[in-house]
Amino acid sequence: MLVIGITGTLGAGKGTVVEMMQQKGFVHYSARNYLRQRVEQLGLKPDRDTFTFVANSLREKEGGDFIAKGLLAEALKDGRNCIIESIRNVKEVEYLRKNCNFVLLCVDADIKVRYERIVIRGSETDKVSFKTFVENEQREMESADENKQNLGLVMQMADFRLDNGKDLEFLRRQVEEIYKNLPINKRPTWDEYFLEVVKTVAKRATCDRGRSGCVIVKDKQILVTGYVGSPTGLPHCDEVGHLFKKMINEEGEISTHCVRTVHAEQNAICQAAKRGIALEGASLYCTMTPCRTCAMMIINCGIKRVVCLNKYHNGKESEEMFAQAGIQLDFVSEEVMKYEKQ
Ligand SMILES: [Zn+2]
Ligand SMILES: [Zn+2]
C-alpha cells in the first residue's frame, strides 16, 4: 500500500492532481474536509482565516500531525493506495514517512497564474484581493513554531515536484512520469530486493530487543537466511522472557544484553554450515550493524560486503573491524535502532 501526500501553494492545482490520481485508483482523503468538520463542530464560519486559526490551535492541543494521524488511520483500515490532500506542516511529513510507505508530491505555479485561478474558482475561502493573497501566502510559507503551517519547508521535503504553470496536458504528462516512478510501479534494485527479504525474515524473530533478520547472497542469489532466536529446541524470549546479563563497559558504564538468542547473522552462518554452503565472497544483508562477535565471524567467513538497514548503538567496533578487514559496509539509514535498556 502506498500513501501519497500532496502539498503546494494555493491555486497550484492540488485538486487536479488528486483527480488524476483517483483515475489511477487512488482513494482521496481530504485534510480540508476533516478540518471543515472540526470548524463546523465549533460553530465557526468556514473562511480561510478560521481554517488556519483552528488548524493551528488543534495542532497545539493534539500535536502538529493530528490531521495526518487521523487520515492515515482511516487509510490503513481501508488498505488501498491513497492520496492525502493536503500536507501543510513538517510534523505531518515526518509522521507519514515513519508510519507508512509514503511519497510526497509538491505542485506549484507562478503566483499571478494561481491568483487568476482562485478568482475564477471563487469559493468562499478564496474571495481576497491580490495583495491579501500574496500576504496570506507569505504567512503560510514560514513559521518558527513547528506545530504551525510551514508550507515552504514542507515543499522542500517533496520527493516529486510538478509545475502547473501551463495547460492541463503539461500537468498530465508530469503526473504520468511520476506515476511510472512510484515505488509501487518501479522494479526494486538488487539491494532493495534483498533488504525487503531481510524485513520479512526478521518477522520470525523471537527476541523483541531488536527483531533482526539476515540474508546472505552470492551472485544475486540468496544462499541462506537467519533471524534472531534461541537455539533449536530451546525456549524463546517471546515465551519465557529474556535472559539478561549485565556487562561493564570500558568507561564503567553498565549495559544489559539478552543472551538467550543466536543472532540473525550467526543463524544464517549456521544454516550455511549445516548445508555445506560456502560463503566466501558473499554479501550479507541485515537489520542493523552486526555486533562484535557477528562481525568477527563475518570476516572469517570471507564475506566481502555488509549492508545494514540501520545502525546498532554499539556498532562502532564492528565498523572499525570491517574497515580493517577490507569489507565494504553500507547503511540504508544512519538512524540508530532503539529498544529498551540499551
Ligand atoms: Zn531476548
Ligand atoms: Zn550479533
Provide the grid cell at 203: 518477522
Centre of ligand 2 to C-alpha 216, Å, is: 15
Q: What would the pLDDT profile of 255-275 be if each residue is shown by its tens digit?
A: 888 999 999 999 999 999 999
The more confident residue out of 185 and 145 is: 185
Residue type, 328: Q
Q: Which residues contact 39 (CB under 8 A, 6 or more apart)?
A: 46, 50, 51, 54
Of 82-86, 137-141, 226-230, 289-293, the least confident: 137-141
Per the listing, cell 580493517 goes with 324
Q: At 341, list the grid cell.
A: 535498556
Give me the pLDDT at residue 193, please.
95
Ligand 2 centroid – CA 89 distance (Å): 39
pLDDT of res. 89: 86
Among the bound ligands, the one closest to the CA of 234: 1
Average pLDDT, the chain: 91
Residue 308 carries which DSSP code? E
β-pairing, 328-331 vs 244-248, is unpaired
Q: Give the pLDDT of residue 105.
A: 98
- Give the DSSP letter string of 245-305: EEEE-TTS-EEEEE-SSB-HHHHHHHHHHHHT---TT-EEEEEE---HHHHHHHHHHT--E
Give the ligand with the smallest distance to the CA of 210.
Answer: 1
pLDDT at 151 over 80: yes
Q: Is the pLDDT of residue 228 over 70?
A: yes
Q: Quick check: 54 and 35 in contact, CB under 8 A?
A: yes
Q: What is the pLDDT of residue 52?
A: 81
Of 61-70, 145-154, 245-254, which has the strongest mean pLDDT? 61-70
Q: How many angstroms does the Cα of residue 217 sit away from the middle of ligand 2?
A: 18
Residue 9, exposed/middle/buried by CB under 10 A (0-12, 13-18, 19+)? buried
- Span 57-76, average pLDDT: 89
Place of cell 546498532: 312
Average pLDDT, integer, range 153-160 = 95
Percent of the chain with pLDDT over 90: 64
Confidence check: pLDDT of 296 > 90: yes
Q: Residue 341: its pLDDT value, please?
A: 59
Q: Report the pLDDT value the prediction gives residue 100, as an integer from 0 to 100.
A: 87
Within 10 angstroms of residue 266's Cβ, the number of other Cβ atoms is 19
* C-alpha 297 – ligand 2 centre gap (Å): 9
pLDDT of residue 222: 98
Q: What is the mean pLDDT of residues 124-135?
A: 81
Q: Is the pLDDT of residue 205 over 90?
A: yes
Q: Is the pLDDT of residue 125 over 70?
A: no
Q: 201-235 burial, b if ≥16 CB within 10 A, otherwise e?
A: bbeebbbebbbbbbbbbbeeeebbbbbbbbeeeee
56-65, 178-187, 255-264, 306-315: segment of lowest average pLDDT: 56-65
Taking the centre of ligand 1 as the mean of its atom positions, its distance from the CA of residue 293, in whole angstroms, is 17
Strand order through the sheet with 328-331 = 221-227, 213-218, 283-288, 305-310, 328-331
Q: What is the pTM of this model?
A: 0.62
**pLDDT for res 126:** 63
Phi, psi dihedrals of residue 305, rounded to the nearest 5°: -145, 140
